[in-house]
Amino acid sequence: MARITLLISCPDESGLIARITGVLHRHGGNIVENGEYVDPDRRRFFMRTAVEGVSDVDLLERVLKTELPKEADIKISTQERKNVVIMATSEPHCLGDLLIRAAFGDLPMNVKGVIANHGTLRELTQSFNIPFHEVSAAGLTREAHEAQVMDILDREAPDLIVMAKYMRILTSGFIQRYPDRILNIHHSFLPAFIGANPYRQAWERGVKIIGATAHFASEDLDEGPIIAQDVIPVTHSHGPKEMARNGRDVEKRVLARAVRFLLEDRVVVTGNKTIIFE
């Protein structure tokens, strides 16, 4: 039986859950997963519902619109698998992990292609029968380079763009073109160690734990809404190189976790934060 996922956000008012679940029930929907959250500061209501048995999704959406406040944001996903383009530079751990998960059905996505600014990961990508687009930035302005990348992206029209250790800074034009669709993995426990060489920064500060952060790309570098984070302990005997090596394991599992949340429509952005319906 086809499953659809609803993500609803609107100003909070009394009786919203009763109204929404009532509509779902009258349209044949059987709720299989449900989560709500009210942001007490903004007085805003958020709800994610996975439903089976709805025969006419368009009708459902129209009825929901009439029943909910008119500022309501209603997103209904009927896809079983989303389309994804992965961007990378030269590190294989995140890319390889995602490709294996996609190939064997662990993550419900179609990887439409990999775009990289170096050729290092070509063979790895192609061994999974995924198109590899090398777009070198050599001799190009940032804008000219991104124009080539955007050509490929616009052709593939992915639901999600995953930066799997893509080590170039994005222009604000690029980021604005794909709002809430660019997922980045930063190799530190943000907001600690923003910017370049976070493992070296962590080593210089002498921290006892390092981490990684999956977040939406935003115009302010490393400041976008955080989706997932995880950490791993380190000791004085870890230099920047050992921290980076151990950190890679955290990076790939945090990134895979965030990708799953997005593929399963579990993420809502509100202000500079995310609500995650686990």
> Of residues 12, 58, 220, 222, which has the active-site annotation?
222
Q: How far is the CB of 119 from a second copy (least distance, A)?
A: 14
* Closest to a second copy by CB, 55 or 141: 55
> Is 12 one of the annotated active-site residues of the chain?
no
111 CB burial (10 A radius; 0-12, 13-18, 19+): buried
* Closest to a second copy by CB, 40 or 139: 40
* Closest to a second copy by CB, 159 or 242: 242
Token pair, residue 221, equals: 């570098």
**d(Cα 180, Cα 158) in Å, to the nearest integer?**
12
Full DSSP string of 181-228: TEEEEESSSTTTT-SS-HHHHHHHHT-SEEEEEEEE--SSTT-SPEEE
Q: How far is the CB of 177 from a second copy (least distance, A)?
A: 24
Q: How far is the CB of 265 from a second copy (least distance, A)?
A: 16
* Closest to a second copy by CB, 160 or 267: 267
Contact 11, 40 (CB under 8 A): no
H or E segment and range at residue 123 = helix 122-126
Contact 232, 249 (CB under 8 A): yes
Residues near a second copy (CB under 8 A): 14-15, 17-18, 21-22, 24-25, 30-32, 34-38, 40, 92-93, 96-97, 100-101, 103-104, 106, 124, 127-128, 189-193, 205-209, 211, 225-231, 235-237, 239, 245, 248-249, 253, 256, 272-276, 278
**d(Cα 258, Cα 264) in Å, to the nearest integer?**
10
A 10 A CB-CB count for 240 gives 16
Q: How far is the CB of 130 from a second copy (least distance, A)?
A: 11
> What helix, strand, coil percent values describe the chain, rounded to 5?
35, 30, 35
* Closest to a second copy by CB, 72 or 276: 276
Q: How far is the CB of 68 from a second copy (least distance, A)?
A: 15
* Closest to a second copy by CB, 21 or 171: 21
Among residues 189, 271, 261, the alpha carbon closest in space to that of 224 is found at 271
Q: How far is the CB of 59 from a second copy (least distance, A)?
A: 18
Residues ≥6 apart with Cβ < 8 Å to 91: 165, 248
Catalytic site positions? 222
